[in-house]
Amino acid sequence: MSSQVRLRLLPSARCLFDEPIQVKVEGLRSRQVVTMRTRLTDEKGVVFSSSATYRADGSGEVDLKRDPSLGGTYIGVEPMGLLWSMRPDTMHKRFQKTRSLEPQVVKFSVHEEEGRRLAEETNERLLMANGFNRVLVKEGNISGVLFTPPDGPFPAVFDISTLRSELRASLLANKGFVVLTVTVPTDKAGKIQEMHLDMFEEAMDFLKQQPKVGGKGIGIISRSKGADIALSLAAFVPGVDAVAWVNGCNANVGTPLYYKKQQILSPLLFDLSKCIPNESGAVIAKHALDDPRAEKNKGSLIPIEQATSHFLFAAGEDDLNWDSKAYMDQMVERLKCHGKENFESVSYPGAGHLLEPPYGPFCSSCLHVESKGLSILWGGEPKIHAAAEVHLWNKIQKFFKTHLICDKPQTKPSYKFKKKKKKDDYKAGVKEK
């Protein structure tokens, strides 16, 4: 490595996972062309990497906030492009982060055109700041993880996840919420014949009883199958004040839904023969679900007009897993027909199904546990999808802070890391109502 070249990650090489950093290189020759690279290994041993070519300015500096990538895994001015454009070394893999106590280590490096490494730096992206607690919960029918900020009290958010991960829940706790995350039971072997809303109500009650929770109501955040469970909780179970629904359905998907030993919703079924294969070997499942508006499926539609909660509906218009934008539009129409105004909606042209907290590697396809061994194409153009994640993540936080009220004086959670006001990075195409 060159002793004159310095790679800097600002304001610190140690930050929260969803916080942006400024990447700068100093000490290059005037107008020198270099390649920037990143590399990480996730918990399953999958390696993700990215690269981009830059030309230094007259002072021998490269600043990713200012300078465009000339080629690589992305092009143009993309300050966080080296992170979201990382690709797996094996097809149909997604970045997995289930151990929130350990930071995700990302190696940044800068290389000459010939490949010689000039400088490197390690970025530790943490899921939890100092003072935050993570507790495994196994009580009754509950199996999940509870995240609690220091001080308090705080509003409570119930995170219903379909892909096992602690990323969203732990990062949301850092914003000033007590968060319980549970994973929807998967039906790998076809053994789950019915879903019971009672088990999710039990988790909600457990969350409400936590000593640092202020207020009687809770919020729910969910995506995909978890999103229709969230809608059902809002419609049938008291105490839900706010629901953030992301790329889900307006009907009960997959299995009959029971509450207090009675079936309340019939299932909206899949037809896997309607999946469309693409050249990568993954399939487009967007039209595999039956039409929830068909007469035979009306018993699966969730009566969201019964809910007293506020709704945030968010859909990626390039979702290739479900027709989420259409389902969102149907819910908006249904609520309007019932004279309801307790909702807001946002859609993202060019964004796919897996809308996550920002700055993780974009996932184009991966194995779906309930698709009988098929890899699913999730949709989304990486650059646009990454910008949508930034916009939606900020919007979700604002939504919960607006509609979840503490009945006790609040304190702000203590952070080790300097907070920076985020700009709204998603500009073109976002549609809000």
Catalytic annotation, pick one of 18, 228, 318, 319: 319
The answer for 140, left when phi > 0, alpha when psi is -120 to 50, beta otherwise, is: left
**CA pseudo-torsion sign 346, 351, 355, 357:** negative
The DSSP output letter for 136 is E
Catalytic annotation, pick one of 224, 232, 324, 347: 224
How far is it between the farthest Cα atoms of the chain? 73
Tell me how far apart the alpha carbons of residues 345 and 200 are, in angstroms, rounded to a whole number: 25
Q: Is 353 a catalytic residue?
A: yes
Beta strands 154-161; 178-183: pairing state:
parallel
Give the number of other Cβ atoms within 10 Å of residue 2's Cβ: 13
Give the number of other Cβ atoms within 10 Å of residue 162's Cβ: 19
Residue type, 271: D
Q: Which runs of consecutive H residues, i.e. helices, occur in 222-296?
A: 225-236
Q: Is 224 a catalytic residue?
A: yes
Q: Is 111 a catalytic residue?
A: no
Collapse the DSSP code of 227 into the 3-class scheme (helix H, G, I; strand E, B; otherwise coil) and give the result. helix
Please, are residues 376 and 366 in contact by the beta-carbon 8 Å criterion? yes
**CA pseudo-torsion sign 143, 148, 154, 157:** negative
Please, are residues 6 and 26 in contact by the beta-carbon 8 Å criterion? yes
Collapse the DSSP code of 135 into the 3-class scheme (helix H, G, I; strand E, B; otherwise coil) and give the result. strand
Token pair, residue 399, equals: 């939504």
Cβ partners under 8 Å of residue 228, min gap 6: 248, 249, 250, 251, 252, 253, 302
Q: Which runs of consecutive H residues, i.e. helices, occur in 221-288?
A: 225-236
Catalytic annotation, pick one of 92, 111, 310, 353: 353
Cis-peptide into 11, omega within 30 deg: yes
Residue 178, class by beta-carbon neighbours within 10 Å (0-12 exposed, 13-18 middle, 19+ buried)? buried
What are the residue numbers of the active site?
224, 319, 353
